[in-house]
Amino acid sequence: MNRIDASEHYDESGFTHQTPSLLTVVIDTNPRAWAAIHDLLPISKAIANILVFINAHLAYGNENQVAVLAAHTNRAVWLYPTSPNPDYPPASRRRKAGDSGQDVEMTDVDRRGHRPREPQLGTSANKFPQFAQIESSILASLRSLIDGTSPSDLNPTTLISGALSMALSYIHKTSLAFEAPKTSADPANPTTAPSTKTAAPNLHARILVLSVSESEPAQYIPTMNAVFAASHAQIPIDTLALYSGPTFLQQAAFITNGVFLSAAANPRGLLTYLMFGFLSDVDARGSLVAPTQDSVDFRAACFCHRNVVDTGFVCSICLSIFCDVPENAECLTCGTKLALGTYGAKPAVVPRKKKKRKRINGTGREETGSATGTPGPA
């Protein structure tokens, strides 16, 4: 019977399931930056395009997962999944109460101490229940974030570094859940050495940053710490810049082998950039030609004035960068006395020695290219 229906060709023992992929999206929600590109791409249309991209990622595999964070002006907030301990009340209300220990009215619980239930989603045959749940959670959390933003919170700084740190922590926690249990040694032969074969990855994780603001020099150190941690964990950081050029995120994509694309010329094509540039996971990129950067801005921020500099002075002990020589030539970070050598001295000009020309047979005639000398007057 196997020869007739050819069932022997389908050996279930050799089938390997698809490795789950975790996509962590960090959305820059700086109101000032979105107001600058409101005429080209409002934040409402951008969120709609991101939801389509997230649904495509989830539909790519049954075990794929997604997490969404918002990098705001004064904090980083989870949009999906929602945090079990949300930051209620908003920071603006906590400032009104002060630090005197006064109670603040909690608007997210009822009199019995229970949280109000989220509104039930309408059943629709055209929307997958998981897609509807994620969409409802992201929109509700984003609306709560915008409502809790006061005019005093509107500053040009965006906490990308905090969002990256939270994303790395969530990825590490999720990878532990997918980690296979360690096999113990054989009780019959306890002297058997454990296998040194490299195990296949149990989770493909990556971070996608949707940036609309420039890099803040004051966040250079925490941002690069998060970038180096992601590089050590082999987690690529992809970046899609909708406005200007984030210097530090370019370096993050280069260091972690991620993808950096700039959509500043055409922000309306956000969905096209997302689907064609960032839909493939880490495993699939090995068989595809991923977009590359033509040039990378490797400028760093100085530790003294927090300015982005092209050239500077670097401490040989702690590798701190300074735009100018510190006072008394002492490192502001570790206090090491910097040896500047001959810095600032004028270069010494050495005169060039003149070469004497060779003379032929002791005569006064200089060597020329001809066999005979120059004829004199008749």
133-187 confidence digits (pLDDT tens): 899 999 999 999 988 888 877 877 788 999 999 999 999 999 988 876 655 555 5
- Respond yes or no on whether the N-terminal peptide bond of residue 81 is cis (omega within 30° of 0): yes
Residue in this structure with the two tokens 């249309």, named with its chain if needed = 45
Homologous superfamily of domain range 19-91+126-178+202-297? von Willebrand factor, type A domain (3.40.50.410)
Per-residue pLDDT at 33 exceeds 60:
yes
For 60, other C-beta atoms within 10 Å of its C-beta total 15
274: left (phi over 0), alpha (psi -120 to 50) or beta: alpha
- DSSP-derived pairing of the beta strands 300-301 and 308-309: antiparallel
Give me the chain's average pLDDT, please.
Answer: 78
Contact 258, 250 (CB under 8 A): no
90-100 confidence digits (pLDDT tens): 444 444 444 44
Residue 292 is classified by DSSP as -
346: left (phi over 0), alpha (psi -120 to 50) or beta: beta
For 327, other C-beta atoms within 10 Å of its C-beta total 8
The residue with greater pLDDT, 117 or 73, is 73
Sequence ranges of the domains in the chain: 19-91+126-178+202-297, 299-343
Q: Give the C-alpha separation, 307 to 220, whole Å.
A: 10
Contact 240, 261 (CB under 8 A): yes
Q: Give every CB contact of residue 93 below 8 A, 6+ residues apart in sequence.
A: 104, 105
pLDDT confidence of 116, banded at 50, 70, 90? very low
pLDDT number for residue 366: 54
